[in-house]
Structure 1
């Protein structure tokens, strides 16, 4: 195995084509966060992004995109934003993870959404479900499964949709639009949601806003930004921005206008989005790791992602362990305990309410 490092912009057309071919050859890599276009776009905005090109003799057998931070700490590209991480490689190739991170100049590589089939994966890493909407057998098959699994939710969502139209006007759904105006409306809702719930506003970072805008402008058969918005009587009610490959759409930034909250606008939107996605050839909607009520109601299957790190012996790895691992384990304990989770969520929402009314 031989590894060469490159900035994303230094990859030529042959390398990008090879990356895409390796990705499309294995279902476990069918996620737009693992597509070359995602890394290339983030690399335009963040100078910490690198790509390890893995060779076996004259042949390229893998690509490992990562961010290199001080002390040799490696993270996934756009760490904290992505729901699928890891390297894209030829099936059957043997890659030593410790040698790989050494050749990348890293002391540690940490991850929280590592996909299956990875040389980086070991038995000590924590596994987490990533719920999906399975559309491989079509929209009708999905709704039949949903009626059996979450029949009450499905029927009540349709009833609320009818009531919404009686109360406010007709519904219109714009799927896969590339207009910036509804995108900015959606991001404004998301910022308000972050503030209300006490979370950090990702869109306070200018580069993340620019990233989303650039991804929306990226439209090809194998990769695209997907923006869709549901309108009521011409007024935007709910929407979502995500990414797709040919067959997989990932959930990324869903949000809605709180004015319509009593009608369950998120569920109305997700069902509308899933129907349109199925009609456009999407076979799986990956809603991403994380416990959310709407995911439990809409899912018809699960993938698996892992959290952990690969580390070489040394002081940088030791310091990283002290700074990150106990915090990660504490967070995992809270997420696994319903009482602790409700308490933490309530505290965050109280903080969010205070933040919206206090000056500064």
Structure 2
């Protein structure tokens, strides 16, 4: 279905909400408010929006929204995004539908007016992955080793535990729990400690700004480049989303405060049976108190009390390895819809060559530095020098 305006998308609101209520663990990213905001941004940038609808009789059983963007000579269809392009790319699918839905969705994908369809962060071993792998895909992308094509995913299966204490005993070492208790006691000596969620759009925006500034400082200190941290897309998007949501039911930003000031905070997404972690950070001045771990611990207690699992999302970070009870593997699939789509292989090979050249240059410089310093060191070691 071609959507030319927000009003056109709004015509789907009723069936969209109904399907989300019937879907298997839908993410906030798959819900109408999130996609409506992402679509409005796409329209502002003069990009086309398409929504694939699949029905069985009169019942809508699957819905898959895309934006079509231009990348050089290619028309690329990808998931509606907040700007960071880190959303899972799966469709919204009614719980209990049969396997025949997946070939039908693949047929619908091939009718998109695009040369290439990009489906991000697809979990291996799922029905979606099996269906996507029946379609022609980028050969150059497949040349990369698996470790370069995707990321490990981490999750904490809280719903499998009758009580939070049961989760702690099964998943966290007694020493780690002892360290957390000690850190909290020390933190409480600095002032009142408060853990909770922003309950107004204004407070959400303020804490979002704090999160991004902390992340920018963290990245700069480590010479890490991250596109979404370089501008204000995240803050702008989720600030606008906070205006659309009932934050008492679907909160976005959680915090840990000491004496009224944030020391750790995170952007999260509540949907279906999952609390999905987004951007997490803390004030390094409070690092010795393990405020990041204390903040995550409080989030897990909150999630368990509401019957939610916790998705730490793909990309390896040491703390995820320590907390996770489930691990998975996620890769982005690039489906070739037209012959022109093969041009993506040229782009990939060009990027690989550039990366290889940069790596070779760094290695050459690294090897030359000791050789350049050796004569100077020998000269300095001579008597009388």
Bin of the TM-score, shorter chain as denominator length: 0.7 to 0.9
1:52 Cα deviation from its structure 2 partner: 1.8
| Corresponding residue number in structure 1 for 2:78 | 75
Q: Does 1:192 align with 2:195?
A: no
1:134–1:55 distance in 2 versus 1, CA, 3 Å: closer
The question of whether the paired residues in 2 share the 8 Å contact of 1:98 and 1:310 is answered with no
Residues 232-275 of structure 1 deviation map (CA, whole Å, 9 limit, x = unaligned): 12221000111111432111111111111222221111111221
| Corresponding residue number in structure 2 for 1:18 | 15
| Corresponding residue number in structure 2 for 1:50 | 49
Counterpart pick for 2:121 among 110, 113, 116: 113
| Corresponding residue number in structure 2 for 1:272 | 298
1:327–1:77 distance in 2 versus 1, CA, 3 Å: farther
Alignment of 1:177-326 (within 5 A): 177-178=199-200, 179=203, 180-197=205-222, 198-200=224-226, 202-220=228-246, 224-279=250-305, 281-315=306-340, 317-324=341-348
Report the 3-state secondary structure (helix = DSSP H, G, I; strand = E; otherwise coil) of the residue aligned with 2:90: coil
Residues 3-51 of structure 1 deviation map (CA, whole Å, 9 limit, x = unaligned): x222572456663332333344343x52222222211111122223623
Q: CA separation in 1, counterparts of 2:353 and 2:156?
A: 29
More off after superposition, 58-67 vs 287-296: 58-67
The question of whether the paired residues in 2 share the 8 Å contact of 1:73 and 1:108 is answered with yes
The question of whether the paired residues in 2 share the 8 Å contact of 1:128 and 1:304 is answered with yes
The question of whether the paired residues in 2 share the 8 Å contact of 1:237 and 1:260 is answered with yes
Q: CA separation in 1, counterparts of 2:287 and 2:9?
A: 48
1:53–1:10 distance in 2 versus 1, CA, 3 Å: farther
| Corresponding residue number in structure 2 for 1:30 | 26
More off after superposition, 246-255 vs 110-119: 110-119
The question of whether the paired residues in 1 share the 8 Å contact of 2:117 and 2:337 is answered with no
Pairwise CA RMSD of aligned residues? 3.3
Q: CA separation in 1, counterparts of 2:84 and 2:233?
A: 14
Any unmatched runs of 5+ in structure 2? 367-385
TM-score (norm 2): 0.73
Q: CA separation in 1, counterparts of 2:266 and 2:199?
A: 11
Q: CA separation in 1, counterparts of 2:104 and 2:353?
A: 26
1:49–1:155 distance in 2 versus 1, CA, 3 Å: farther
Residues 67-123 of structure 1 deviation map (CA, whole Å, 9 limit, x = unaligned): 211121122222643342122234222444553233220111123312543275327
Q: CA separation in 1, counterparts of 2:347 and 2:237?
A: 29
Report the 3-state secondary structure (helix = DSSP H, G, I; strand = E; otherwise coil) of the residue aligned with 2:278: strand
The question of whether the paired residues in 1 share the 8 Å contact of 2:154 and 2:326 is answered with yes
1:66–1:217 distance in 2 versus 1, CA, 3 Å: same
TM-score (norm 1): 0.78
Q: CA separation in 2, counterparts of 1:219 and 1:199?
A: 31
1:201 Cα deviation from its structure 2 partner: 5.1
1:225 Cα deviation from its structure 2 partner: 4.2
1:328–1:40 distance in 2 versus 1, CA, 3 Å: farther
